[in-house]
Amino acid sequence: MGGMTAEAIAALKQNLPSAHFVTPDLTEEYGSLNNSYLSGFESDLTPACIFLPKSKEQVAVFLRTIRPFADNVQFAIRAAGRQPLPGCANVQGGITVDLRSLTGIRLRDGIVKVSAGESWGAVYQYLEPHGLGVTGGKSTTCGIGGLSTQGGLSFFSSRESFICDNVVNFEVVVASGEILNANAQENPDLWISLRGGGNNLGIITRFDFSTFKQESMYAGMVFYFKPSWRDQMTALVKELMSPEASVETHLMLSIGYAQVFGNGNDVICLNQIYYTQPVKDPAVLAPFVHVQPQRSEMNSMKIQTLLEAATEQSGAGQSKIRCLYMNVCVKADVDTLATGGDIWCEELEPVKDAAGLMCSYTIQPYPISQLQKTSANGGNVLGLDPSEGPVLNLLLLSYWADKKDDDRVTGFMQKALKRIESNAKDRGQLVPFIYWNYAFSDQDALRSYGQENVQKLQAASKKYDPDGLFQTACPGGFKLFK
Ligand SMILES: Cc1cc2nc3c(=O)[nH]c(=O)nc-3n(C[C@H](O)[C@H](O)[C@H](O)COP(=O)(O)OP(=O)(O)OC[C@H]3O[C@@H](n4cnc5c(N)ncnc54)[C@H](O)[C@@H]3O)c2cc1C
């Protein structure tokens, strides 16, 4: 540990209860905290200390104490640790602020106030007896922080837009240690900037979301085979381009590979299908639910509660696996989507033997209704314009077992992404937006928001963090000034 870091930790321990600091000598506790990230790329980093604040006031004391050390000591902000972007929520040799002890959920006047250490599963469980839903992660285990500050796609995105667009108030501790509320009336520039600005402007201690009446939904997964894949993309594009496109649907179409699929050496296709009303088998979903032939024994379509649907997606809360995400966005063009899938399959071939490999090429649409709802909800800084039509996010995702395959699998993903991107560009179908929640280190999601939005964020940073604490001392994620 560097001398200045040791000094900073000593200063922090003077101002805050020392029991809230976990150092590597506390082997068991440190190991269990640091190994609880989804991705081994995050757990590979070993902070000098993990700080577990129990209140917003303690977060404020942390920032005030750390400020004089900002040139020499780094910190990271961690929620559920579900983002696989290396170093976004952990820091080598620095101090990781782990928000898990900031708990509490309250409902008041239709607004659910959620402390930063909660999970979406807990929020859904809390809201269920009230007959209410909220735009949140599609998995129970996902953290609130990453999704609510970096966009966030939910089952309800077609109707309600991005998760960040549904935050009506952020309670945020800014660099000075001041605790602010950012909403349409108070600090509105900060409010809009936090809707996409990630960890650049402060540590958010509570998120207040608007809720809506929510009964059960029709949801589940359908597995099928590659020959039907192109028809599925055609059906998706047709639905997205229809003037009557349903705002109740959320669809994810994937082509994937894993031995556990029991499909030999072949890829298999998967539709993750949601209709956010309690209607069994609605006509709009027929092409995706009834694709034939399918692995009918694996078809899980049924009426489910929000909590059940998100539990199905949660991947059993894995931790410390080798895992990376990368993404690119394109317009609604079947040839671009299909060729992207073909490229991915080709590049996959030489790495299929990587131990425990499970990977996919997943199409997730942002329908026009979703992009339109952003401004109705007050706006954000993502820079997506509804007039450009539906946007389709292409997510490349890989999970594997062994560190020795890191370079091979990363190389496969990067090569595939580059080819998919240039194929889309050559066809005039590339959308410059990069989705932060799925971005890899060399994909500058922030700059993809466009110059105007970056300037808006830089202005907010100069106002709320004039010394640039979150730019220099908190290096994780994507930063505003280079
Ligand atoms: C099983 C699974 C399901 C997923 N489902 C979805 C989905 O439905 N929709 C979707 O869009 N994405 C989804 N993702 C992607 C994932 O949710 C994102 O990568 C998200 O960022 C993870 O959030 P987290 O709070 O766990 O973040 P962490 O990994 O803890 O942090 C991510 C980033 O957010 C910052 N941050 C976190 N909390 C705060 C805070 N309170 N204040 C300031 N900065 C903060 C961190 O510093 C870090 O840079 C899924 C991922 C997995 C593994």
Mean pLDDT per 10-residue interval, the chain, length 482 residues? 90 97 95 96 97 98 98 97 96 98 98 97 97 96 94 97 98 98 98 98 98 97 96 98 96 92 86 97 97 95 96 75 97 98 97 94 97 96 93 97 97 98 98 98 97 98 98 97 86
Residue 122, phi then psi, degrees to nearest 5: -65, -40
Distance of alpha carbon 458 from alpha carbon 123, whole angstroms: 32
Take atom 38 of ligand 1 and give the residue whose Cα is closest: 145
3-state secondary structure of 113: strand
> How high is the pLDDT of residue 320?
84
Structural contact between residues 365 and 272, judged by C-beta atoms closer than 8 angstroms: no
Taking the CA atoms of the chain, what radius of gyration do you get in angstroms? 22
How many angstroms does the Cα of residue 151 sit away from the middle of ligand 1? Answer: 10
Q: What residues does ligand 1 touch, defined as CB less than 6 Å away?
A: 38, 77-83, 88-89, 99, 116, 137-139, 142-147, 149-150, 152-153, 198-199, 203-204, 313-315, 437, 476-477
Take atom 13 of ligand 1 and give the residue whose Cα is closest: 137
> How high is the pLDDT of residue 389?
86
> How high is the pLDDT of residue 316?
52
Task: Give the DSSP H or E segment for 121.
Answer: helix 120-127
List of residues 6+ apart from 3 with CB closer than 8 A = none
Distance of alpha carbon 410 from alpha carbon 344, whole angstroms: 13
Q: Which atom of ligand 1 is nearest to the CA of 42?
A: 29
Residue 332, phi then psi, degrees to nearest 5: -80, 80
- List, in order of start, the domains of the chain with CATH numbers: 3-101 (3.30.43.10), 105-213+447-468 (3.30.465.10), 217-304+320-433 (3.40.462.20)
Take atom 23 of ligand 1 and give the residue whose Cα is closest: 146
Go through the chain and tell me how many residues it has.
Answer: 482
Take atom 15 of ligand 1 and give the residue whose Cα is closest: 437
Structural contact between residues 386 and 371, judged by C-beta atoms closer than 8 angstroms: yes
Q: Which long-range contacts (CB under 8 A, 24 or more apart) does 5-10 make?
A: 5/48, 5/49, 5/69, 5/72, 5/73, 5/93, 5/94, 5/95, 6/48, 7/69, 8/65, 8/66, 8/69, 8/73, 8/95, 9/48, 9/49, 9/95
What one-character DSSP code corresponds to residue 143? B
List of residues 6+ apart from 438 with CB closer than 8 A = 325, 326, 327, 393, 395, 397
> How high is the pLDDT of residue 2?
75
List of residues 6+ apart from 59 with CB closer than 8 A = 53, 97, 102, 173, 203, 205
User: Of 153, 307, 135, nearest to 217 (Cα)?
Assistant: 307
Distance of alpha carbon 375 from alpha carbon 370, whole angstroms: 10
Neighbours of 261 (CB within 10 A): 16
Structural contact between residues 232 and 288, judged by C-beta atoms closer than 8 angstroms: yes
User: Of 367, 239, 220, 223, nearest to 281 (Cα)?
Assistant: 220
